[in-house]
Amino acid sequence: MSAATKAPAAPGRADLKVVILVPAALLALAVLPFVLPTYQVSVATQILIFAVLAMSIDVLAGYAGRTSLCHGAIFGVSTYVVLYGSTVAGLPVLASMVVGVLAATVLAAVFGVLAVRTSGVYFLLLTLALGLIVWGVCLRWTAVTGGENGLRGQLQVGAFAQPRALYLAVLAGAAVMSFGMWRFVHSPFGLTLRGIKDSESRMRSLGYNVPLHLVIAFTVSGFFAGMAGAMYAVFNNFVSPSTVQLSQSVAGLLMAIVGGIGTLFGSVVGAFLIIALEQAVSLYTERWLMVLGAMFVLIMIFAPEGVVGKARALLARSAQRRGRQ
Amino acid sequence: MMDRRQFLKTTAGATAATAIGAPAIVQAQGSGPIRIGLLAPLTGVVASGGREMVDGFTMFWEQQGGTLAGRKVEIVTEDDASNPDTALQKARRLVEQANVHFLCGDLLANTGLAVANYVKGNGVPYFIPIIAADDLTQRARIPNVIRIAGYSASQTTHPLGDWAWKQGFKKLATIGQDYTFGHEQCAGLARVFSENGGKVVQQLWHPLNTADFSPYLGQLAGAGVDAVFTMQTGADGTRFIQQWANFGLKGRIPLMGSMNCTDQSVIRTMGAEPEGIITPAHFAEGSDNPATQKFVKDYEAKFSKTPSLYGFSMYSGAMWIARALEKVRGEAENRAAFLDAVRTTELTDSPLGTAVRLDAYGNPIYDIMIRKVVKRGDGKFWNVPTDTYPGVSQFWKYDPETYMKQPPYSRTYQAIKT
């Protein structure tokens, strides 16, 4: 977790590289759908959406020290509202997406108020319980949520019926949100969160309103999870209780952990690794979950700080060695 | 910090490009094998049913010699993991990557509905011998989704409602799994029974995977009814029947069930507990029809177990597909002609031994049998027909258009006439 305690990079020196590297990365990702077959484009779209979910979890887990097990539910609520809005209430897709994100944000704010007074394992359990409530409501409130069968719609209207166009739109959305989250955790507010993570009592004695900071952080992170959920609604055209169930929250958290907690963009790597591996392995065996499980165990043993965290540590070490020579 | 982070992001993108850019199978046009995408839950809560689906489906194609109209038949099987999101993803992969000509399968209603919604957008034919969700061939029907060799949830319980009334039962209680399939099956019975003049005095709903039925059994025992109807699938069926017997209710109150409740997948692992339970179905493995008995013998010889509804339905579904494909000389690429052939095919040589055809809405019309669980010669139990309702459609005796103007059956709308 050393990455989290480091000060953000000095803006002056980094700016030049950002100017070159960020557009280069975005360009590479933007060209992707033109070289991949259709199915892989939809896999790539899914990776981007789940990367945003994983990043939203990392904002809390990596920077405020609060590991949430209800972000899958917040994500799914947005998906539900978007599908309900556009298929049952007859709203335009974009409007229902706005309502969906709004609903997720409000829900996150409520959950935040309930959860932030706890920390550690109690926070984990409380958010788990809150997520299960959402799942229970989605399963039982048949009249609105369609119960077990869920809601279906046709949200890929106009140009977005093309997988490529949909991918590019999701890429644009994910890029903006990644920047938003990056900016958020590197802002003075984000620094306060890191302070809270390191020592809550010290921050309190310094005069910071710790619960308020955490509620805001929870709400902001829920907002991003909701954005991911709204994009998922358009991507999937379908939602059922399996989208809000615990395994969804766990999947998001695992992606963040595999990539590296507190690295933010590690979540992108984590989402890619897990989804791509799932796709590749399930081609050969129906026991692909065991392979994934083995991967998690290996990562926890050899790179507990995550793939990106480990890579960073290795790079830093080699730079140090070079510096000494 | 920044440069490394960006570096990693770039590498991630590049790796993504190479790793998931694995070459897709090249699509053949009009020649080469007929590719069938088979979706079945091979993992998750209904995995054992999924295995039998694959068994039944492949058994037919093996008997067929793996070819049809001079073309090889290639079956690409994918596991839907009993999860609708996975089912949708696998359907996408089958259509967009494996380039299958059509899809077939899925067990749970929500997985089928998710895939149906996907093919609604792209017109890929999708056949659902197991998915029973009423509305898929009623209010929300999709032209390229056809329930060949399948049944709609309330199709078999409508006649049971009539049968129960004719047995002289005046008061009934129902208990069912609390999800759409359960609501639809209970409603079919409750509606017809109450319209005949019977009274449905109590309806209980329990969550899927209920371990302990004692609170429900207590209520049912004290309800003062002439008979009880139970709608169950999978392990819930096993537990309900077992506890019904353990509580001493077996033989005291007549028990009727949904067809899945006494399906071979449930009763083949049990002892004498299910004996005497009455269920309605279009298939009865204990029927003395020679075609049925031949199928049962073949299946038992191959898999050393009596065929369940899953194995039977997928076998017949495969046969239906084959008969339709023969009509269009194996041209699965020509979707319109193929779908038309499927709709107009009358299946005469299925294990049912009777001719089956589709109604105008893509659901088969069956002779619905009222079956009773009895012991057969070798000590095993199976379902033997005692009564038959010929030519039952998904709409029972109602006018289809009027029927579909009423709301779909649900927990709150059981269509009980009071």
**A31-82 pLDDT per residue, tens:** 988 988 888 899 999 999 999 999 999 999 999 999 999 999 999 999 999 9
Q: Do B96 and A311 touch (CB under 8 A)?
A: no
Name the token pair of B337.
């002609």
Beta-carbon separation of A243 and B85 below 8 A: yes
pLDDT for A325 equals: 65
Please judge whether A289 and B97 are an interchain contact, meaning their C-beta atoms are less than 8 angstroms apart. Answer: no
A25 touches chain B (CB under 8 A): yes
The H-assigned helical ranges of B107-229 are 109-122, 157-166, 180-196, 214-221
With a CB cutoff of 8 Å and minimum separation 6, the contacts of B247 are B214, B217, B221
pLDDT of residue B15: 45
The reply to whether A194 touches chain B by the CB within 8 Å rule is no
Judged by CB atoms closer than 8 Å, whether chains meet at A242 and B84 is answered as yes
Name the token pair of B290. 């020679």
The domain spans of chain A are: 2-324
> Nearest-CA residue of chain B relative to A30?
B13
Q: In the predicted model, is pLDDT for residue B28 greater than 60? A: no
Q: CB-CB: which of B6, B23, B97 is closest to A25?
A: B6
Highest mean pLDDT among A35-39, A143-147, B195-199: B195-199
Q: What is the pLDDT of residue A6?
A: 44
Q: Tell me the pTM.
A: 0.85
Contacts of A29 in chain B (CB under 8 A): 13, 16
pLDDT at position A161 is: 83
Name the minimum distance, in Å, from the CA of B409 to any CA of chain A. 12
Using CA coordinates, name the residue in chain A closest to B412: A143
For chain B, say whether A148 makes contact (Cβ under 8 Å). yes
CB pairs below 8 Å between A and B: how many? 144
- B208 has pLDDT over 90: no
Domain ranges of chain B: 34-151+290-353, 157-287+367-405
Residue A179 to residues A18, A186, A187, Cα–Cα distance (Å):
12, 10, 12
In this structure, the number of other CB atoms found within 10 A of the CB of residue B279 comes to 26
**Which residue in B170, B174, B177, B176 sits closest to B194, CA to CA?**
B170
Pick the CATH number of B157-287+367-405 from 3.40.50.2300, 3.60.70.12, 3.30.360.10, 3.40.50.720: 3.40.50.2300
Q: What is the mean pLDDT of chain A?
A: 89
Distance, CA of B187 to CA of B193 (rounded, Å): 10
pLDDT tens readout for residues A169-199:
999 999 999 999 999 999 999 999 999 999 9
Would you state the pLDDT for residue A15?
A: 65
Distances (CA, A) of A186 to A191, B160, B323: 7, 67, 65
In this prediction the ipTM stands at: 0.82
DSSP character at residue A86: I
b/e for B89-102, b at 16 or more Cβ within 10 A? bbbbbbbbbbbbbb
B34-151+290-353 against B157-287+367-405: fold identical = yes
Any idea what DSSP says for residue B209?
A: S
Average of per-residue pLDDT across B299-325: 94
Q: Is-contact B146 B172, C-beta < 8 A?
A: no
pLDDT value of residue A80 = 96
Write the DSSP assignment of A258-300 as a string of letters.
HH-TT-STHHHHHHHHHHHHHHHHTTT-TTHHHHHHHHHHHHH
Question: What integer pLDDT is reported at residue A13 of this predicted model?
Answer: 54
Average pLDDT over residues B328-347: 93
Q: Is the pLDDT assigned to residue A121 strictly greater than 60?
A: yes
Phi, psi of A316 (to 5 degrees): -60, -40
8 Å CB contact of B10 and A24: yes
> For the residues B195-201, what does the mean pLDDT come to?
95
Q: How confident is the model at residue B305 (pLDDT cuts 50, 70, 90)?
A: very high
CATH homologous superfamily, domain B34-151+290-353? Response regulator (3.40.50.2300)
Residue B46: what pLDDT?
Answer: 84
- The answer to whether residue A152 neighbours chain B at the CB level (below 8 Å) is yes
Supply the pLDDT for residue B413. Answer: 92
Residue of chain B minimizing CA distance to A289: B43
SS3 content of chain B, % helix, strand, coil (to 5): 40, 20, 40
pLDDT digits (tens, 9 = 90+) for A283-324: 777 777 788 889 889 988 988 888 888 888 888 888 888 877
What are the pLDDT digits (tens) for B220-264? 999 999 999 999 998 899 999 999 999 999 999 999 999 999 999
pLDDT, mean over chain B: 90
Instruction: Tell me the chain A residues in contact with residue B412 when contact means C-beta distances shorter than 8 Å.
Output: 142-143
Q: Give percent helix, percent strand, percent coil of chain A, each to the nearest 5.
A: 80, 0, 20
**pLDDT tens, residue by residue, A268-288:** 999 999 999 888 887 777 777
| B364 bridge partner residues | B358
Is it the case that residue A16 has pLDDT exceeding 70? no
pLDDT the model gives residue A303? 86
User: Closest partner residue to A315 among B4, B6, B117, by Cβ?
Assistant: B4
Residue A218 to residue A70: CA distance in whole angstroms: 11
| Bigger pLDDT: A9 vs B83 | B83
Q: What pLDDT does residue B274 have?
A: 94
For residue B30, pLDDT beyond 80: no
- Contact yes or no for A272/A224 (Cβ under 8 A): no
Q: Which residues of A touch B16 (CB under 8 A)?
A: 29, 32, 44, 47, 272, 276
Check pLDDT > 60 for residue A3: no
